[in-house]
Amino acid sequence: MNMDRKDREPDPSPSSARQTVVFFDGVCGLCNRYVDFLLRIDAGGKLRFAPLQGQNAADKFGRAEGGRLDSIALYDDGRILEKSDAVIRIFEILGGVWRVFTLLGLIPKSLRDRIYEWTARNRYRVFGKRETCRLPAEEERSRFLD
């Protein structure tokens, strides 16, 4: 997926420029476990979530890119990050003890992303694949976009 657009112009609309959204593969077992984990540790509700299969992803990335499901993507303050950069930024946003994971940024990006890509290629085989996208529980619905 080619969503690494740190140099992209920020979205001019005030509501979206302040929104932090984690885009994830809604049918991936690993991705859903990661979302469950983030929901548990993000007590302050800093993150929102949307499946890459949904309309919000299509609106942000366009149909072609929203349809590719090989990477997590983070929409943060008008920027789009993907792969290991997205994961590191998520932990930075969460703050507290979770900031220790930002030290992963000391590893060269090419190596981090190779490890990420290997995991992404094998995620369905190791963690399974659902038939449909994750449906949020009632108490989680306000944190999810379509």
> Which residues, 6 or more positions from 21, have their beta carbon under 8 angstroms from its beta carbon?
47, 48, 49, 50, 56, 60, 74, 75, 76, 145
pLDDT of residue 64: 55
pLDDT given for residue 113 in this prediction: 94
CA distance readout (Å), 39 to 51, 94, 131: 15, 11, 22
Please write the tens of the pLDDT for every residue from 56-92.
888 887 755 545 667 889 999 889 999 999 999 999 9
For residue 18, the model assigns a pLDDT of 53
User: What's the confidence (pLDDT) of residue 1?
Assistant: 47
Average pLDDT score over residue span 16-24: 75
The pLDDT assigned to 144 comes to 92
Question: pLDDT higher for 57 or 3?
Answer: 57
The two tokens of residue 10 are 């920020």
The stretch 125-140 carries a mean pLDDT of: 82
Distance of alpha carbon 38 from alpha carbon 48, whole angstroms: 10
For residue 92, what are the contacts with CB-CB under 8 A and spacing of at least 6?
99, 102
Task: Give CA separation, 104 vs 4, 23, 46, 78, in Å.
Answer: 18, 21, 21, 23
More reliable by pLDDT, 43 or 48: 48
Model pTM above 0.85 = no
**Using CA atoms, how far apart are residues 22 and 54, in angstroms rounded to an integer?**
12
Q: Domain 14-130, CATH 3.40.30 — does that match?
A: yes
Residue 35 has pLDDT above 90, yes or no: yes
The DSSP call for residue 112 is H
Q: How confident is the model at residue 146 (pLDDT cuts 50, 70, 90)?
A: confident
- The count of C-alpha atoms lying within 13 angstroms of the C-alpha of 30, restricted to the half-sphere facing its C-beta, is 14
What percent of the chain is predicted at pLDDT more than 90?
A: 48
Q: What is the share, in percent, of the chain residues with pLDDT greater than 70? A: 83
